[in-house]
Amino acid sequence: MSCKTVKEEKTQRPNIVFIMSDDHAYQAISAYGHGLNDTPNIDRIAKEGAIFNKGFVTNSICAPSRAVMLTGKHSHVNGKVDNINAFNWDQENFAKTLQKSGYETALIGKIHLKGLPQGFDYSNVLPGQGQYYSPDFIENGVKKNYPGYVTNVTTNIALDWLENKREMDKPFLLLYHQKAPHRTWMPEEKYFSLFDDKTFDPPANFFDDYEGRPAAAAHEMGIFKDMDLVYDLKMLDKEGKIQTKYRNSFQGRYNRMDEKQKEAWDAYYDPVIADFKSRNLEGRELALWKYNRYMQDYLRTIQSVDDGVGEVLDYLKENGLEENTIVVYTSDQGFYLGEHGWFDKRFMYEESFRTPLLMKYPKEIEPGTVVDEMVQNLDFAPTFLDYAGAEISEEIQGESFRQLVNGKVSEWRDAIYYTYYEFPAEHHVKRHYGVRTDRYKLIHFYYDIDHWELYDLEKDPSEMTNVYNDVSYSDVQKVMHERLKEMRTKYGDSDELDEMHLEKFLKSKNLKK
Ligand code: SGN
Ligand code: CA
């Protein structure tokens, strides 16, 4: 151990490493026990600390989720309601507060919020969604290109900052944010053939007919119906026989690879393409083939994310930083891995409303802790401020879950609030908001529809039966309406605000009501 790190261990305030990946379904983390893949490094965080079974977001889409995470305020309060409108970096965020209180701060990887990040001594971020191969990054406002694979580049930048760039005598906050496993799920060479021998069985509701759920039926995120054979599933045949809507867009992504990378890519994918062409699949068989092709690439990109987590955990350990560093692993939202036949997110249904959340802090958190209470990404800002002993402003709407993880709170919230605004847009998920309690969920879809859904999550965890109009649930329906009203009042949301966001959105897209 070097002198500098020994000195750091004496600092009382904890360091914070906040790891966020993009679109990482909890179903695809082995610690959650779904049996799809193996993520030994992410699992280490749970083993040495805590796993949250009910981590949720407030708005299941990228940029809004990050804005909530930074500010500790719901979308309608921080203003970033969808991926399209601008984020106001001038407002307070927890990195700014920590920086002012003496923390050294860095933001590395995907943030998806335009403008120079505020609150960070160092930032090196992907422009927008970023690219898997030969990614551009914006280092403190200056664009640069990096050869290689984005997940590894992001990890290397993070390790370089830890080792060489930060001020060693200050506690630090590192936001280490991966692009993967975001669409279009391009794996790194090392993992091309991982899962070749595995057949993935889709979830039981893969062939959902959406009865009683018109907003779900209107989706454009079906694995069978909407996935593009070339763009999503990599069937870029050299003969050009497989012509699809987004073939050219994928060609562009492929072209970013260098000659060696292309060679390795073709050596793996050409035989897969030939096999696919020889089979002439249709109907159910084609649906299952698509699902398997999707799962393979999606999970392969996660393997590189897991490697990066391992490298960062090892770095902390080898440099005497383990004891005094909080490590959090989460995603900007959950993701559908074939549930309801889908990919993507956005809906308030469980798989995208929930997000993975694992956290360790050896000084405080008992290894093997399991948290079953509902927490939200709204809570990150106050939680980190709490650990750092910094002031939590009155305006913050989330709550610190520090003592919850320690098993030291007797009362915790029993309802959470959700909003989604990006419609009409890609994937066609209608505007909605709702409330979830431990057992029930009430959702209101609005704008071009006025439709309510109620789920009994105990009896129907896959949300296949809308019991809103079921008379045996009339009492529950009433109570849930009350809870929703209470939530909207508590967080300052209203029909008027929804209307305002809608008008702004339509105007920005030149659409009429
Ligand atoms: C892109 C994707 C969508 C995805 C959004 C939002 N299309 O537009 O599939 O829903 O991002 O994702 S792609 O053709 O560009 O891959 S988010 O995580 O950034 O919110
Ligand atoms: Ca995302």
| C-alpha to C-alpha distance for 469 and 473, rounded to whole angstroms | 8
Q: Which pLDDT tens digit goes with each residue over 66-99?
A: 999 999 999 999 999 999 999 999 999 999 999 9
Which residue's alpha carbon is nearest to atom 4 within ligand 1?
A: 344
pTM: 0.97
Q: Which ligand is nearest to the CA of 23?
A: 2
Q: Which atom of ligand 1 is nearest to the CA of 61?
A: 20
Q: Which residues pair with 485 in a beta bridge?
A: none
Query: Whose CA is closest to atom 20 on ligand 1?
Result: 62
pLDDT, position 125: 98
Cα–Cα distances in angstroms (integers) from residue 331 to residues 122, 181, 452, 457, in the given order:
22, 10, 28, 23
Residues with CB under 6 Å of ligand 1 are 22-23, 61-62, 83, 112, 129, 182-184, 344, 426-427
Q: Which residues contact 85 (CB under 8 A, 6 or more apart)?
A: 79, 504, 505, 508
**Count of CB atoms within 10 A of residue 101's CB?**
14
Q: Which of 20, 182, 219, 355 to mutate to test the pocket of ligand 1 (most atoms within 8 A of CB)?
A: 182
* Ligand number nearest to the C-alpha of 130: 1
Instruction: For residue 80, give every residue at least 6 positions away whose Cβ sits within 8 Å of its Cβ, in sequence order, or none.
Output: 63, 64, 67, 68, 86, 87, 88, 113
Going from the Cα of 113 to the center of ligand 2, the distance in angstroms, rounded, reads 12
Residues of the chain with pLDDT under 70: 1-11
| Residues contacting residue 92 through CB under 8 Å, at least 6 positions apart | 71, 393, 395
Distance CA 264, CA 324 (A): 42
Phi and psi at residue 327, to the nearest 5°? -120, 125
Residue nearest to atom 17 of ligand 1 (CA): 62
Q: Which is the closest atom of ligand 1 to the Cα of 249? A: 14
Give distance in angstroms: CA of 183 to centre of ligand 1: 7
Q: Which residues surround ligand 2, an ion (CB under 5 A)?
A: 22-23, 62, 332
Residue nearest to atom 8 of ligand 1 (CA): 426
Index of the ligand 1 atom closest to the CA of residue 427: 10
CA distance 338 to 433: 23
| Ligand 1 probe mutation, 132, 183, 248, 253, most atoms within 8 A of CB | 183
Q: Within 10 Å of residue 145's Cβ, how many Cβ atoms?
A: 10
Enumerate domains of the chain plus CATH numbers: 3-185+295-411 (3.40.720.10), 192-294 (no CATH), 418-508 (3.30.1120.10)
Instruction: Tell me how far the alpha carbon of residue 43 lies from the centroid of ligand 2, in angstroms.
Output: 21
Query: What is the distance between the alpha carbons of residues 426 and 429, in angstroms, rounded to a whole number?
Result: 8
**Can you give the pLDDT at residue 1?**
41
For 289-344, write each residue's pLDDT tens digit: 999 999 999 999 999 999 999 999 999 999 999 999 999 999 999 999 999 999 99
Q: Looking at the CA of residue 63, tell me the nearest atom of ligand 1.
A: 20
User: Atom of ligand 1 at shortest distance to CA of 231?
Assistant: 14
Q: Render 362-415 in DSSP notation, one character per residue.
A: TTTPPTTEEE-S-EEGGGHHHHHHHHHT----TT--S---HHHHTT--S----E
Ligand 1 atom closest to Cα of residue 332: 18
The whole-angstrom separation of Cα 91 and Cα 136 is 27
Q: Whose CA is nearest to atom 12 of ligand 1?
A: 62
**Ligand 1 atom having least distance to the Cα of 83:** 20
What is the predicted pLDDT for the residue at 513? Answer: 78
Question: Which mutation among 87, 129, 297 tests ligand 1's pocket best, with the greatest number of atoms within 8 A of CB?
Answer: 129
Please give the full DSSP string across 11-61, using - where no structure is assigned. Answer: -SSPEEEEEEESS--GGGSGGG--SS---HHHHHHHHHSEEESSEE-SS-S
Amino acid identity of 218?
Answer: A
Assign 155 to helix, strand or coil. Answer: helix
| pLDDT score recorded for residue 8 | 45
* Class of residue 243 by CB neighbours under 10 A (exposed 0-12, middle 13-18, buried 19+): exposed
Q: Say what the pLDDT of residue 512 is.
A: 83
pLDDT of residue 162: 98
Whole-number Å distance, alpha carbon 450 to ligand 2 midpoint, is: 27
The span from the CA of 315 to the CA of 398, in Å, is 31
